[in-house]
Amino acid sequence: MIKKLFTLFMLVVFPSLCWAKLNIVTEVLPNYQYYNDDNQLIGISTERVIKALTQGNIEYSLLVYPWSVAYSAALRDPQTCIFSLARIAPREDKFQWIAKLHHANVSFYSLKTSHISIGSVEDAKQYKIAVLRDNFSHHYLKSKGFTEDKNLIVIDHFEKIYDLLETRRELLELLVLNDEQFNYSLKHNKTLSKLKPIFQIDSIGQELYFACHKDMANDTIEALKQAFKRSE
C-alpha cells in the first residue's frame, strides 16, 4: 500500500520521471522558429513549445534539422515530436496531434518577369513547381495528382530556393511558399524580390501543430496535451 501511494505521489509531483526524455525536432522557419543574433532558437512557435514543456515539467531535447530530416525522425522514432507541422489530410493518420500553434497562409509564387496566371490548384499542373521535400506543399500537391517526374521539383531546404533563383532560374516556373516565411525572409535576402505571389491556396491555409509519433505512449500524449492546454 505504501509503495502504491509513493508511486502515485511521484506521478503527480514529478511527472517528468514517468517517461523517457523526449526528442523535439523542428526546422528553421521564420518567424515561427529561427535563430537570433546570439544563436538562440526563438520565434512564436518556439516560445509556445518551450513554455508548455517547461511548465509541464517534461524533460526534452530540442534539435534543429533540415525539414526532411526532422520529418523523417518524427515518423521513425516513438519518442519524437515535431513542430511547426501543417495538419493536412495526407498526414492525419501519421501523427498524434497535440496542440495547434498558429495559422499560416500559403501561395503560389512566380518570377516577376513571368506572365503565368492561375485561378486554381489544378491550373498549376501545367508548370514546373519547386517544393520542399516532405513539406506540406510536397504532400498536398502529390495528393492532388502532381508528380515528381512531371511537375514537381523537390528541393531539400529553403535556402536552395536562392540557388535556383541565382543560377537555374530557367527551371523555375512556380513555388509554393508560406506567405509569412516569404515576407520575413525577403527582409534578409533580396534575392526573393525576384518573386511575386500569384495565387493563394485557401484549401491549405496551414494550421501549424505540435505533433508526435503515432505510437508514442498514451500517458505521454495525455501529459503533453495537458501541458499545452495549461500554458494557453
**pLDDT per residue of the chain (232 residues) written in tens, 0 to 9:** 443 443 344 444 444 444 579 999 999 998 899 999 999 999 999 999 999 999 999 999 999 999 999 999 999 999 999 999 999 888 999 999 999 999 989 999 999 999 999 999 999 999 999 999 998 899 999 999 999 999 999 998 888 888 888 887 777 899 999 898 899 889 988 999 999 999 999 866 679 999 999 999 999 999 999 999 999 8
Beta bridge partners of 211: 82, 97
Domain extent for 51: 20-103+207-230
| Domain assignment present for 2 | no
Residues 77, 129 share a domain? no
pTM comes to 0.82
Q: Number of folded domains in the chain?
A: 2
Q: Comparing C-alpha atoms, which of 6, 50, 53, 54 is closest to residue 32?
A: 50
> Does residue 66 share a domain with residue 180?
no
Whether 61 and 133 map to the same domain: the answer is: no
In a domain, 45, yes or no: yes
Regarding whether 90 and 47 lie in a shared domain, the answer is: yes
User: Same domain for 42 and 94?
Assistant: yes
Rounded CA-CA distance 59/204 in Å is 33
Helix (H) or strand (E) holding 143, with range, is helix 136-143
Distance from C-alpha of 73 to C-alpha of 81, rounded to nearest angstrom = 9
Q: Coil, strand, or helix at residue 198?
A: strand
CATH of the domain at 69: 3.40.190.10
| Phi and psi at residue 125, to the nearest 5° | -65, -15
Question: Quick check: is 218 in a domain?
Answer: yes
Q: Do 176 and 223 sit in the same domain of this protein?
A: no
Q: Cell digits for 215?
A: 505510437
Q: For residue 96, what is the enclosing H or E element?
A: strand 95-104
Give the CA-trace dihedral at 136, 163, 33, 185, to 10 degrees.
-110
d(CA 23, CA 42): 18
- 3 lies in some domain: no
Same domain, 193 and 215: no
